[in-house]
Amino acid sequence: MLRIIDARTAEPVPAAPARRGPTRVVAHPPGHDTTGLRVLLVADLLVRALELDGTPVWVLVTGAEDRTRLRAEAAALGIRPFEDGGVAASGPRTGQTVHVVREGGAAPDGATVAVAPVDPAGRIPADPDVLRLALLERHHHARVELDATVLDEARDTLARWRRAVATWARQPSRPVPGEVRERLRAAWEDDLDAAGVLRVLRDVETDPDLLDGARFEVYAYADRFLGLELTRDLGTPA
């Protein structure tokens, strides 16, 4: 079961109602900067984890100006489309509402996920895929320092993994090992621990006992949560 740390109580709570009713996810980005995008990214991870668990989700954004620009920046980062929070009152009944806010921001009524800030807040790297991975490398409760070293490491990792996935895809497919699947789900169901999911992928990358076909399926499965387009280079020349 997916559980989040509720910023109001600092205690873990279920992110979905017991009867699998729909969950409303409301993102509250503080502005058009990397911290605002990180709030949207965590909301996106929450939506992905809920959908992987079979929970219907309705995602909204509120509190930000210039929604057109915000939608464009979010789309470039691979974030699912969201609706205007102003329609929340007239939307479908939901079993639960989860808010995603900046750390230290006002906590609305309902379960609340707090997202630590990004430094520097105003600089958005040219490659949104690299930014997404750099933000996922740290748990959303931890502050992210976006310097040249962090971005270069994310760029190199993303390029290496996409090449590897394209190479592994040429081998006969093998199922995701049960133990690996359990580790992945345990990570993202534990307060959306994307950094934990990435650690599993690093173990899979170097595990001598795994066949390449299984590695491919693991990365493709994990990417349903991470949203890094790890299979993007399938079919390209080696």
Which residue range(s) make up the domain with 227? 125-238
Tracing tokens 């070293």 back to the chain, one arrives at 149
Q: Do 51 and 66 fall within a single domain?
A: yes
Closest alpha carbon to 44 in 156, 146, 142, 136: 136
Q: Do 236 and 144 fall within a single domain?
A: yes
Closest alpha carbon to 195 in 203, 187, 186, 183: 187
Q: What pLDDT is attached to residue 133?
A: 97
Q: From the CA atom positions of the chain, what is the Rg in Å? A: 18
Quick one: DSSP state of residue 90?
G
Q: Do 32 and 72 fall within a single domain?
A: yes
Q: Do 226 and 154 fall within a single domain?
A: yes
Q: What pLDDT is attached to residue 89?
A: 46
Quick one: DSSP state of residue 118?
E
Distance (Å, whole) CA 165 – CA 178 = 20
User: Please, which residues have CB within 8 angstroms of residue 130's CB and are 6 or more apart in sequence?
Assistant: 151, 154, 155, 158
Global confidence as pTM: 0.93
Q: Do 107 and 215 fall within a single domain?
A: no
Q: Do 158 and 238 fall within a single domain?
A: yes
Q: Do 52 and 155 fall within a single domain?
A: no
Q: Do 117 and 199 fall within a single domain?
A: no
Domain boundary among 122, 150, 171: 122
Count: domains in the chain: 2
Distance (Å, whole) CA 56 – CA 79 = 17
Domain boundary among 79, 102, 122: 122
If one counts every other C-beta atom within 10 angstroms of the C-beta of residue 150, the result is 18
Distance (Å, whole) CA 103 – CA 119 = 13
pLDDT tens series, the chain, 238 aa: 899 999 999 999 998 876 667 899 999 998 888 999 999 999 999 999 999 999 999 999 987 666 778 888 889 999 988 888 755 444 555 578 999 999 987 767 889 999 999 998 777 777 899 999 999 999 999 999 999 999 999 999 999 999 999 999 999 999 999 999 999 999 999 999 999 999 999 999 999 999 999 999 999 999 999 999 999 989 776 5
Q: Do 44 and 137 fall within a single domain?
A: no
Distance (Å, whole) CA 122 – CA 65 = 16
What three-state secondary structure class fits 222? Answer: helix
Residues present in the chain in total: 238
Q: Do 96 and 146 fall within a single domain?
A: no
Domain boundary among 122, 154, 186: 122
Q: Do 115 and 131 fall within a single domain?
A: no
Distance (Å, whole) CA 132 – CA 44 = 11
Q: Which tokens hold the place of 123?
A: 């600089």
Q: Do 8 and 109 fall within a single domain?
A: yes
- The secondary structure of the chain in percent helix, strand, coil, rounded to multiples of 5, reads 45, 15, 40
